[in-house]
A and B are shown apart, each in its own frame.
Chain A
Amino acid sequence: MKKGLSDRQKQTRSGYLFLIFPIIIFGIFTIFPMFFALFISFYDWNLLIPDKPFVGLANYIELFQDEVFLIATKNTIIYALGVVPVQTILSLFLAFLMNQKLPGRGFFRLAFYLPAVTASVVTSTIFIWIYSKPGLLNYLLSLAGINGTDWLTNPNTALLSIMALNVWSTSGYFMITFLAGLQNIPASVYEAAKIDGASAWTQFWKITFPLVRPVTYFVVVLSLIGCFQVFDQVFIMSQGGPVNSTTTMSFFVYINSFKYFRLGYGAASAIILAMIIYFVTVVQKRYFPPEPY
């Protein structure tokens, strides 16, 4: 029964040879860190102190008594709940407009996608200027007779401002995703609906929306995961301030790990964040599955 094994062996040898590099990189920078993160979350692991004692659940217990962590959690949830729906609806709407085969589509696509391919540091910097007291936003508001505020230093508006930036900068990416989904819907389906007498509005809700549901699912998952880990904008624009009003969980992880060098504590908060993300995606899959039919 040795027949054909030679080819099998060749495939096995080639297969592992082709995969060895990714497996090593992946092992060192993903698999190992995953377990190691859990491990150090049970230690008082300070980068500057050689002694790293086991502390059991102390880090986790401390987290739940840490007011800043609780604020960060609340901020992160507000952030995700605010950004995800707006971003999803906006990008679907943009994709719907783009799918109307109107002149200048190439240019519009470029315009909408531009923020998504631009470095976060660039968009954030531009928006610091836009949001500043004598900035563009307030100028535009003043034209409408509204008196603006200093958006990023006002604790009431800082988080909201960053959320708006996020919607603006990533909706173009999701629009492209939706657009691909829309273009997969055969024209004959719409033609059939038109013959059945469906209005544009009915067509959108009864045909387009259900048929792009798998795409919507995908977009919402990606958007959620992205929002829960938001870091760059907070780091660049507000450093968590004013008075922790923009401290998100990722920023909390960063501050504790790389500013205060409390890596064990940081790891514990990262693990709670991961658990929240996991929980949310499971809930989404359970209650809003991609294909319910």
Chain B
Amino acid sequence: MVGDLIKLIVKAPWSARFGMLVILVYAFVALFAPVLTPFGESEIVGSEFEPWGEGGFILGTDNLGRDMLTRILYGARNTIGIAFVTTCLAFLVGGIAGFMAAALGGWTDQLLGRFVDVLMAIPQLIFALLILTIAGTSVPVLIIVIALLDSTRVFRLARAVAMNIVVMDYVEAARLRGEGLWWVMRREVLPNAMPPLVAEFGLRFCFVFLFISGLSFLGLGIQPPTADWGSMVRDNATLITFGDITPLLPAGAIALLTVGVNFVVDFFLHETSGLRDDH
């Protein structure tokens, strides 16, 4: 297992290695944010919009006089953490439902399928805005709403992947042997469904991460005073009209992580699916 991983890394092109490095750095920052930061997360330490380097603020201060660097590092923790939890939840719900639909077929499949069709017929952002209007914006609501909406896409994929596996003769052989549904799912289907699901996890994470950042940017996602990249862009956006690139930093932080994850996923898909272009 570890050997395979090392082999994979050695084989990886520069773009994928770059992606892995980015992910590692982000994970490190997210885990050790309190240790790495000079100030508290929402501590007001200076005057508004201090320029870079002044008064010990390496990246200046924000619209309320909080240290920019501190907030960017904390932002890693908050934004990534929430996106990660959301994606996990979406996979749990969508994955299980998708597998059930594929394995049971018939009415379960029809019912779940039609339900998801309708949910997917409404654009995700609009749906999210609608629900957030009604339910209000708090982190748990945000996580649940986005996870549920996103689980529809996971459902589709998990079902499609599982469908392709369920029709395999080895699954039929297991059923003929008299194995129960749970065993078939766990031992025959899941191990073979892993590669596409892992890749999808990366893609969904990117999507959720961008989605939450987008909501926060609109002021409807993660609420102040929590440090979060999307809302930091919004709060400091006025600087851009003075040619100050500070608001681009949190935006760039978002972009860099999604680029990294996408590079790794792209390589992973290329390796595992055998989806080579030439054949």
Do A and B come together as binding partners? Answer: no
Binding site for A on B (CB under 8 A): none
